[in-house]
Amino acid sequence: VLSLILILLLALTACGTQEKEETASPEEKKTEEGTSAAKKEKTNTRELTAEDEQFSKLIVEKNYDEVVKETVSLKTESQKDFYYIASAFIKNNENQTKTYDPADLTAMKTDYQVIVNYINRVKFVPDEIKAEVEGLKSSAAEKVAEADKQLTK
């Protein structure tokens, strides 16, 4: 009797799960492309604040450590964005002085992927530093792709 109850319970659970999957709405089946496109639309829609201007100036002056020091609390969207931007530039500077073993490109790929990941987290980039940030991102992405290509040979 107990085994019969367990079998029935298992069958009902399986049917319920299958039905739930079949009736999932299209909204629940969003693709990564759709969400990243929506994310890009939100980028650069914020009004420039005095805090943004202050941090932009520090980025232009390449005073990344000061930006990190002032934004490490990550209390506001502005602080988060500039923390990630400054961290990406700091990581890039570290990578420039590092010597990578040509036989093991995984470390290089990982280090440059960190930069891309930092910049991907940024929701707002002021026009004043946009070209510099985009240049850093594309440069880091190229290094990742180059390392990937070498690793897959």
Which tens digit of pLDDT belongs to each residue from 77-112?
999 999 999 999 999 999 999 998 888 889 999 999
Q: What pLDDT score was predicted for residue 106?
A: 92
Question: Which CA distances in Å does 43 have to 9, 80, 90, 130?
Answer: 49, 14, 22, 11
The per-residue pLDDT for 41 is: 43
Backbone angles phi, psi at 38, to 5 degrees: -65, -35
Predicted TM-score (pTM) of the model is 0.70
pLDDT tier for residue 17 given thresholds of 50, 70 and 90: very low
CB–CB of 133/122 below 8 Å?
yes
What percentage of the chain has pLDDT greater than the value 70? 71
Map tokens 């298992």 to a residue. Answer: 10
